[in-house]
Amino acid sequence: MTDDPFSRDDPVDRPPDETPAPRQPDAAPPIGPPGPAPAGASEPDDPPASGPGAEAATGRAAPLGPYAEEAAGGRAARRPRSTDPLELGFTPRKPVPWLAPFLLISTGLRTLLAVLFGAYLDKRELQKALDAEVARQVGPDGGLWLDYVADLGDGFNATYSIAYLLAQPELTVDGHRLPRAQTLVMGGDQVYPSAAYEAYEDRCKGPYQAALPATPAEQPTIFAVPGNHDWYDGLTAFLRLFVRTRDRHFGGWRTGQSRSYFAAELPADWWLLGLDDQSGSYVDDPQLTYFDTVAKRLGPQSRVILAVPAPAWVKAVDEPSAYDSIDYFIRTIVAPTGARVRVLVSGDLHHYARYAGPDGRQLITSGGGGAYLYPTHKLPERIEVPPRDTLARRSSPSRAYDLAGRYPDAGRSRRYGWGIFSRLPRRNPGFTTLLGILHTLLMLSMAGVTDFRVEAAEQRLFSVPLVMMVLVTVLSAALFAKPPSTHGKRHARHWILGVGHGLAHVGLAAAGTWAWLALPFHDWPWPLPAVAAAAVYLPVIGLVASQLVAAYLLVAGSFGVNLNELFAGQGIEDAKGFVRLRIDPDGTLTIYPIVVDRVARRWQVNPDQSPEASWLTPTTPLHPRLAEPPTTLR
């Protein structure tokens, strides 16, 4: 079934104590039936009148397909006349239901395979055969506007809301006029949940092509850093999409890199370096050799913006070795040149956060490109980078960095956590069904014990089915309580909370069994009780059990356990953003963290038919603002 996010308007995606803002009048009527084709839509390179690219007999435009813009020679493809996937050329998707049983299993298997066989799937050494390009990015005025967005390939509403803002010729944000950037950096996890071809088309490339369908007069350039989800297929799809020798465009952007990592010379001796550490592994030798060559062009006056896949400075609080690769790169490649790394920027955590150090270096997390919101209220107020307890034999001197800005703020982040009670069953119906099945089996096992003599009941308590169900329940809950990172250590709080969560489910099953035995269904001849349990007991207990899981996640989250699951289970689409940077010709760097509190839910075909205009516009205007005042570096 095709997912349809266009008519969705979810008022629950607000903190519980917020009231909805008055709805503004729609800018134009909502989407209706397809109208006549816009004048001038036909081009000499349009698909032929017959064959796979021909228009359907209904008169709708033919599907664009993955090579439509290539066939058009980089020019704008036919503009859609409706939001039908056949018109758009891709299928808009709903947010990923991260607690869906099959998705949990498949994601777990992909993570396990990435951990066990990541070295065997690593294609970075093979990239030595590719060109070692170093780009140069300068705007027409001698300065440069640069955008950074990460964690973007999720549900259409959030992903396209951000892509739409990135593609606009100019944004006015809190009184600042900010032109469209000449350079766009995608900071990792361009697609969810896996790096499949269809996922890239529907969740990443399609929305961005719809946002900027044609090349502007001054074509912007796009660079991309691979994240852990991009690595799930060994980087195959990522390389085919962003590392190309022909047809180097991504919607209206031009791809600017020749490998999975990159370097770009910016105005006033600023440099942009994009690092690929393959989910925290060693930096490969061809990559180090490439950056050694780049380093020969750096000097004491050079300043570096380093884009990395994950905020290792924050993750090092729980896993000190997380920062080792970045520190090694800075210490051995950049530092010997006398250049300074002024900005470290990453995605991976789906929020905005900025740490400032005594040396003026900024550590920025900007992962609000479309994926579910990740909380900010558990961010440490002060961190040491590199961490003092790292096991690395050599490391840079540790410096203290203070949390200088975050979005959403801590209070709003906490309030979002309470939304787990309503969003968990609604966003993850498969997970609720799974809970209902497990609890129904557990109840039937307990109810079976009561069918025997009183003197034999104690012996039956140790029967295999009941013991197995109790053990599976408690063990599953204990393993569910995990540290935030794959390699993080389990502490006592994880086991206490996990086992307590499992025992709570056993207690709920006992209460459900007592209630079930009070009903007449239990006395029906077999197999009618099982049928009645599946039809009546399962949906009710599934919903109740989901609320027990929600309560556990809320309590555990206050101890820093299962914090990711607390928010992943909600799939919060709102509170998204990106960072726009301005480098002046004199070398001054200004950082504008742009956020939108509420993404659009309904879209209409853009009445502006000019080639560069976004295909779809929100029926209710988006209201971008700054997460904090601009930060200036000199």
d(CA 203, CA 598) in angstroms, rounded, equals 19
Residues 6+ apart with CB under 8 A from 495: 478, 481
In 3D space, the residue among 72, 254, 214, 220 whose CA is nearest the CA of residue 615 turns out to be: 214
Output 593 or 11, whichever has higher pLDDT: 593
Q: Where are the domains of the chain?
A: 134-408+575-633, 417-569
Predicted pLDDT at 6? 54
Name the pTM for this structure: 0.84
Most confident of 52-61, 75-84, 174-183, 440-449: 174-183
**Domain spanning 134-408+575-633: CATH superfamily:** Metallo-dependent phosphatases (3.60.21.10)
Q: How far is CA 427 from CA 94, 151, 436, in A?
A: 10, 19, 16
Predicted pLDDT at 72? 40
420-427 helix and 538-558 helix, angle to the nearest 10 degrees: 130
Fill in the DSSP letter of residue 599: -
Most confident of 108-112, 408-412, 525-529: 408-412
Output 198 or 295, whichever has higher pLDDT: 295
Q: What is the pLDDT of residues 21-58, one digit of tens each?
A: 443 433 333 433 333 333 333 333 333 333 333 333 33
pLDDT band at 281 (very low <50, low <70, confident <90, very high): low
Percent of the chain with pLDDT over 90: 47
Predicted pLDDT at 570? 93
Q: What is the pLDDT of residues 83-113, one digit of tens each?
A: 889 988 899 999 988 888 877 777 666 666 6
Burial letters 165-177, b for 16+ CB under 10 A, else e: bbbbeebebeeee
Output 508 or 109, whichever has higher pLDDT: 508
Fill in the DSSP letter of residue 622: -
Q: Give mean pLDDT, residues 244-264.
A: 86
Predicted pLDDT at 68? 45
Output 129 or 323, whichever has higher pLDDT: 323
The radius of gyration computed from the CA coordinates of the chain, to the nearest angstrom, equals: 27
Predicted pLDDT at 415? 95
Q: What is the pLDDT of residues 215-243, one digit of tens each?
A: 888 889 999 998 877 777 777 778 788 88
Predicted pLDDT at 397? 85
Q: Give mean pLDDT, residues 286-291.
A: 89
Question: How many C-beta neighbours within 10 Å does residue 99 have?
Answer: 23
Predicted pLDDT at 26? 38
pLDDT band at 60 (very low <50, low <70, confident <90, very high): very low
pLDDT band at 132 (very low <50, low <70, confident <90, very high): confident
Q: What is the pLDDT of residues 374-408, one digit of tens each?
A: 999 999 999 998 888 776 667 788 899 999 999 99
d(CA 195, CA 229) in angstroms, rounded, equals 6
Output 15 or 445, whichever has higher pLDDT: 445
Q: What is the 3-state secondary structure (H, E, C) of 365-396?
A: EECCCCCCCCCCCCCCCEEEECCCCCCCCCCC
Predicted pLDDT at 323? 87
Q: Give mean pLDDT, residues 558-569.
A: 91
Percent of the chain with pLDDT over 70: 79
Predicted pLDDT at 32? 36
pLDDT at 273 over 90: yes
pLDDT at 158 over 80: yes
The torsion angle over the Cα atoms of residues 249, 253, 258 and 262, rounded to 10 degrees, is -170
pLDDT band at 424 (very low <50, low <70, confident <90, very high): very high
Predicted pLDDT at 46? 34
pLDDT band at 372 (very low <50, low <70, confident <90, very high): very high
In 3D space, the residue among 418, 434, 426, 432 whose CA is nearest the CA of residue 546 turns out to be: 432
Output 197 or 324, whichever has higher pLDDT: 324
pLDDT at 418 over 80: yes
Predicted pLDDT at 317? 84
